[in-house]
Amino acid sequence: MSQGAAGNPTVAMIQAAFTHHQLPWRYINLEVAPADLPAAVHGALAMGFRGFNLSMPHKVAVIPLLAGLGESAKLIGAVNCVVRRDGAFVGENTDGKGFLTSLQTVIDPRGTNVVLFGAGGAARAIAIELALAGIRHLTIVNRAMDRGRGLVDALRAGTPTEVTFVPWSGNYVVPSDTQVLINATSIGLYAPEARVPVAVESLRPEMVVADVVFNPPNTRFLDEAAARGCTTLDGLGMLVNQGVIGVSYWTGVTPDAAVMRRALEQALGLAR
């Protein structure tokens, strides 16, 4: 069975960074069956790999195979980026860090009130990273109560951030003291007309509104927010910045994000 590595656009983006910075490196897509993960990780170490990215279902299963975890990877409980440090593999999570870097281009999140839609893998990574970055209050809005409450428990146990859970039913009315609103659900993925259930009239021009969905990047949620005068951030920024962080972990070179975004847009067929 395929684990879905084929067709992942990350390879085009990372390889473009290597080419642009004249780094004689290769980033390759490899399909690994769950039962073969331990052999693949040991083989990568033996063959001198400087690191690799992982997608589901390997993000959690890889943890016992590593020598250690970065702070946010430990709290998130998932690893999407492995880095060789002092001859051993360490697990990092760059999903939330990529989002945070993208967010910091428009607002300093320290001390802000944030509303987050979703409690899946992407939402969990973003929530932990925002908490570590010093936001004041986080409201998690999710349809499934158990997932939402589980994320709240993890945040309360591992970070000092104030957290509230709101079960999602009907159009969510965004509190007026919210500075950042994030859609971290899969609503809108390959579905440009799909609507995030939010009371659009509660969006205010001073809010930053972000979406994790990157295909298509101009989601209906962002269009509606832009029409209300909000500052918007698309999911490509998160994806590009997690690539930037991965390349800098592996090579020590901070790559040009604009070069990587162009390569990604081309790979996704979005280039104008």
Residue ranges in contact with ligand NDP by CB under 6 A: 95, 98, 118-123, 142-144, 147, 185-187, 189, 212-214, 235, 238-239, 242
- The number of CA neighbours under 13 Å toward the Cβ of 77 is 11
CB of 56 to ligand NDP, least distance (A): 7
Does residue 74 carry a catalytic annotation?
no
Q: Which residue is nearest to ligand NDP (CB)?
A: 120
CB of 237 to ligand NDP, least distance (A): 8
Q: Which is nearer to ligand NDP, 150 or 158 (CB)?
A: 150
CB of 245 to ligand NDP, least distance (A): 11
DSSP per-residue codes, 224-236: HHHHTT-EEE-HH
Q: Which is nearer to ligand NDP, 84 or 95 (CB)?
A: 95
Q: Which is nearer to ligand NDP, 134 or 150 (CB)?
A: 150
Q: Which is nearer to ligand NDP, 70 or 118 (CB)?
A: 118
Residue from 53, 58, 59, 73 carrying the catalytic annotation: 59
- Please give the positions annotated as active site: 59
